[in-house]
Amino acid sequence: MTGEQPFIAAVKPLVDAMGGTMVPPDEAGPEDVVLAWEGADVVAVRLPQLADSLDHILAAMERREGRPLSDLDRRAKQEVVRILEARGAFAVRHGVETVAGALGVSRFTVYNYLNREKGS
């Protein structure tokens, strides 16, 4: 039991970054991921739905920037789009619309940023 709390503390930043939640292993559902340490189930991770995950990623990016993403300059917005594309944000249904709304730009602008990245 002594190793459980440090293990949970070690994985918590990753779970938080993904927008997941931690639940006791005996409460794990079929879609949860049970993590074991030294042969014993320690914690289960409940992963978010993809759309919720995108909202979580956008909120984390805003916190990191210290201001709304819509306040960023064009170059910074292009970088946000590049990062989000690398993380698979545009595979999510309505991903372009969600990102466009967060950046305060049109869907067309997001597509331009994506095409510009592919053209370089």
Highest mean pLDDT among 35-39, 89-93, 116-120: 35-39
94 in Cβ contact with 50 (< 8 Å): no
103 in Cβ contact with 72 (< 8 Å): yes
Question: Average pLDDT, stretch 21-50?
Answer: 90
Prediction pTM value: 0.64
Axis crossing angle, helix 95-103 with helix 50-65, rounded to the nearest 10: 20
Q: Cα(95)–Cα(15) distance, rounded to whole angstroms? A: 22
35 in Cβ contact with 41 (< 8 Å): yes
Q: What is the mean pLDDT of the chain?
A: 88
The 10s digit of each residue's pLDDT in 66-116 is: 999 999 999 999 999 999 998 888 988 899 999 999 999 999 999 999 987
